Amino acid sequence: MWIAPSGMYTWPQMQLVLAEMGADPVIWAQDYPYVKGDAKTFLMNTPIPEEDKEKIAHGNIEKLLKLK
């Protein structure tokens, strides 16, 4: 199962996702133009380990779509 918490740039919501699912199934997305925000800045400013940020930002979707 994959989870894409798009457009919800709040730390409590991200904490819940990570606590329940871990970083491996999380695919970061932005629901533009319906929800506007700075997804990159939000993710980079969270206290998540760099390895998990890379998974969430691009590694997990590359794995899912077999891009590497």
Q: Report if residue 2 sits inside a domain.
A: no
Q: Report if residue 26 sits inside a domain.
A: yes
Judge whether residue 68 has pLDDT over 80: no
Q: Report if residue 54 sits inside a domain.
A: yes
Instruction: Please spell the DSSP secondary structure of the chain, one letter per residue.
Output: --B--TT---HHHHHHHHHHH-STTB-----TTTS---HHHHHHTSS--HHHHHIIIIIHHHHHTT--
Task: Give the predicted TM-score (pTM) of the model.
Answer: 0.83
Q: Report if residue 29 sits inside a domain.
A: yes
As a whole number, mean pLDDT of residues 38-66 equals 93
Per residue in 2-45, pLDDT (tens digit) is 998 777 788 998 999 999 999 999 998 877 777 777 888 889 99
Structural domains in the chain (count): 1
Which among 51, 11, 59, 4 is positioned nearest to 27, based on CA atoms?
A: 4
Q: Report if residue 5 sits inside a domain.
A: no
Domain residue limits at 37: 11-64
**Which pLDDT belongs to residue 20?**
94
